[in-house]
Structure 1
Amino acid sequence: MYEDQAREEYDRWKRKLLKRPSIAGRYTKSLQAKMNHLIPEKVHTIVTTSIKNMVHATLIGSEYTAAKQPEEGLTLREREQMIEELTKKYRKTAALEGAGTGAGGLLLGAADFPLLLSIKMKFLFDAASAYGYDVKDYRERLFVLLLFQLAFAREEKRPDLLKRLENWEEERLSLPRRKDYLDAVDWKEFQLDYRDFIDLVKMLQLIPGFGAVVGAAANYHFLDLLSETAKNGYRSRWFHGGDEEG
């Protein structure tokens, strides 16, 4: 059965997610911290502002929810075939956008942050609809943000985020009232995790000429990572209380 294969892939994804960072990974993190001090404050400000605006737009705006209808009556296989097509589409868009901004050096490289954020969020909302969830429900928007956070979280935060993901059906029942839900989001944490995750490669993207190659490859990779997280996040809900394929 397709679902058996999906469960095996989900278990492998969990093991990979919780795996201790390698020596090379720890060295990269140390190098990243040092390079953080070399990044112009203007770039840090753009990243912080972009993520804050993205979180607010996700929760209260209509940019990502317009014309999105949840797919109904599909098997898990059919839904994930849709995800594969969405991934190809958005991966290409992200790579082209990264190449274009990477070719321009510092200013366009900095402009890449809000553009790539928008591409990622639109992908996640399309993925939610493909799995049959109505993104007009603010609780589904919060789940989208959880997926985003998990995809780009630091190693030490992944176990807690994964636990939240696997217990989402219970957590969603205790979420605050609609008018209070903005208070439940710590956008500063989103900013720190996301910035730390992508800073190293994005520093290279700021180099004129060379940045075009790095920008395209980095954005391609980031979209792949987000797709893998979204797929397994919605698989978790499928296995822990959603409709299951026969």
Structure 2
Amino acid sequence: MDNYLQYTEAELGLWLFQMKKRPSLGGRLTHGVQNKINEWIPEKFHTVVTTAIENMVKAVLTGSGWIVPNPSKELPFKVRELKVRNRIKWYRNTASAEGAITGAGGILLGFADFPAFLTIKMKMLFDIASLYGLDTKDYHERLYLLYIFQLTFSSQARRNDLIGLVENWGEFLDTLPPTLNEFDWRTFQLDYRDYIDLAKLAQLIPIVGAGVGAVANYRLTEQLGKNAMNAYRLRILKKA
């Protein structure tokens, strides 16, 4: 077997282990506290936030604002991965700069970080999918992007639920939401907010928030890129 493929499969196996491991005690306690807080928040607030996130993500998924890249179908696997790593690096640095700028302004600019950072992350997923030779104009590929996103920004318990879907994608095609309107946006936004709030809360503090925003956006974007690489590896290597 090619040395690079051996390395890839080893890295993929480790990633799957991490996605499937049981939640830690600290993780369970944190998730329980977050659930209690969400129960105290008025339902109207949840509805407003769910609708806002749904509309933002739908705008990205339908290609609003840019031309969807054409899938790269003829590249050797190692070359694809090199290009993917370079794209992740570019988006990681862009997200870090955006986090530093909005973080320096405290709570007011901090609110601007939410849609900007969301857009950067989703656009990165589109580019990664294209570099792996997948057509993001296909509805199911756009759904797959959403599940990679959700897998990244959720609790370990939620990852345990989602990894089977991502790992065995072809077996679930007939059970997926028929349109984006039927997708579970409420769970999506709760998972995302709970995860992001812990990582980026200090970004709302003026001046100090610049450093927090830069580091948080850097790490979160890199994490999403790593998960996307391994999710697509699952599908590509199964066909090899």
**TM-score, normalised via structure 2 length:** 0.87
Q: Distance in 2 between matches of 1:186 and 1:36?
A: 17
Distance 1:44 1:115, change over 3 A: farther
- Alignment check: 8 A CA contact 2:68 2:126 kept: no
The code of the aligned residue for 1:197 comes to Y
Offset of 1:20 from its aligned partner? 3.0
- Alignment check: 8 A CA contact 1:32 1:199 kept: no
Alignment partner of 1:62 is 2:60: no
CA deviation digits over 1:82-105, x for unaligned, max 9? 111001100110000000000111
Which residue number corresponds to residue 85 of structure 1? 86
SS at match of 2:179: helix
Q: Distance in 2 between matches of 1:165 and 1:126?
A: 18
Q: Distance in 1 between matches of 2:37 and 2:106?
A: 17
The code of the aligned residue for 1:227 comes to G
Which residue number corresponds to residue 187 of structure 2? 189
Q: Distance in 1 between matches of 2:196 and 2:109?
A: 16
Counterpart mapping for 1:21-36 below 5 A: 21-26=23-28, 29=31
The code of the aligned residue for 2:5 comes to E
Offset of 1:211 from its aligned partner? 0.5
Structure 1 residue runs without a partner (length 5+): none
- Return the match for 1:10 from 6, 9, 12: 12
Size of the alignment, in residue pairs? 237
Which residue number corresponds to residue 210 of structure 2? 212
Alignment partner of 1:96 is 2:97: yes
Distance 1:119 1:46, change over 3 A: farther
The code of the aligned residue for 1:18 comes to K
Distance 1:102 1:47, change over 3 A: farther
- Alignment check: 8 A CA contact 1:166 1:236 kept: yes
SS at match of 1:20: coil
Distance 1:155 1:174, change over 3 A: closer
- Alignment check: 8 A CA contact 1:205 1:214 kept: yes
Distance 1:63 1:168, change over 3 A: farther
- Alignment check: 8 A CA contact 1:47 1:195 kept: no
**TM-score, normalised via structure 1 length:** 0.85
- Alignment check: 8 A CA contact 2:103 2:206 kept: yes
Distance 1:192 1:90, change over 3 A: same
- Alignment check: 8 A CA contact 2:100 2:213 kept: yes
**Alignment RMSD:** 2.8
- Alignment check: 8 A CA contact 1:98 1:112 kept: yes
CA deviation digits over 1:108-147, x for unaligned, max 9? 1121110000000000000000000011111111111111
CA deviation digits over 1:202-244, x for unaligned, max 9? 2110011111100000000100110011000000101223xx3
Q: Distance in 2 between matches of 1:221 and 1:133?
A: 26
- Alignment check: 8 A CA contact 1:102 1:109 kept: yes
CA deviation digits over 1:32-81, x for unaligned, max 9? 678889x9xxx9888545421233224434335x1410001122211110
- Alignment check: 8 A CA contact 1:58 1:141 kept: no
Distance 1:164 1:107, change over 3 A: same
- Alignment check: 8 A CA contact 2:60 2:119 kept: no
SS at match of 1:240: helix
